[in-house]
Amino acid sequence: MASEYDKKNKNVCISISNTNRIMSTEEIDVNALGEKIVRVIKTIFDPEIPVDIYELGLIYDVFVNEDYEVKVLMTLTTPNCPVAETLPLEVEEKIKSLDAVKDAEVEITFDPPWTQDLMSEEAKLELGML
């Protein structure tokens, strides 16, 4: 299963490489791991906005491979964001803290640039935009 960031539904998609591998009952369900990763990401807040970075629309994609290595594609509200150095590290560290994750990497992109349209309905409601 591989998919792109779904702008319409504001979903983070868990992309799994090499899905032909047969998993034993002892192996971790990669989709369940993806859900845990999203829950961890939702504990991280932009310090200037009282909304978590997932609902804010900063997470574009989360990839989990068969070795339980995670790659996150994310953006920032602006290229000059005051937390440009620390926020990606916080995301990486929190994901790495999950027992099942072997490694994590965060890649920052500004293509497409973040806009308020990427925010979830929940975030817009929290910020009084609805």
pLDDT in tens, 29-64: 878 898 999 999 999 998 888 899 999 999 999 999
Distance CA 102, CA 14 (A): 16
pLDDT of residue 30: 79
Question: Cβ(87)–Cβ(44) under 8 Å?
Answer: yes
Alpha helical stretches, state H, 1-82: 30-41
| CATH annotation of 14-126 | 3.30.300.130
pLDDT of 59-99, one tens digit each?
A: 999 999 888 999 999 999 999 988 999 999 999 999 999 99
pLDDT of residue 28: 64
pLDDT at 15 over 70: no
pLDDT of residue 27: 54
Distance CA 98, CA 52 (A): 19
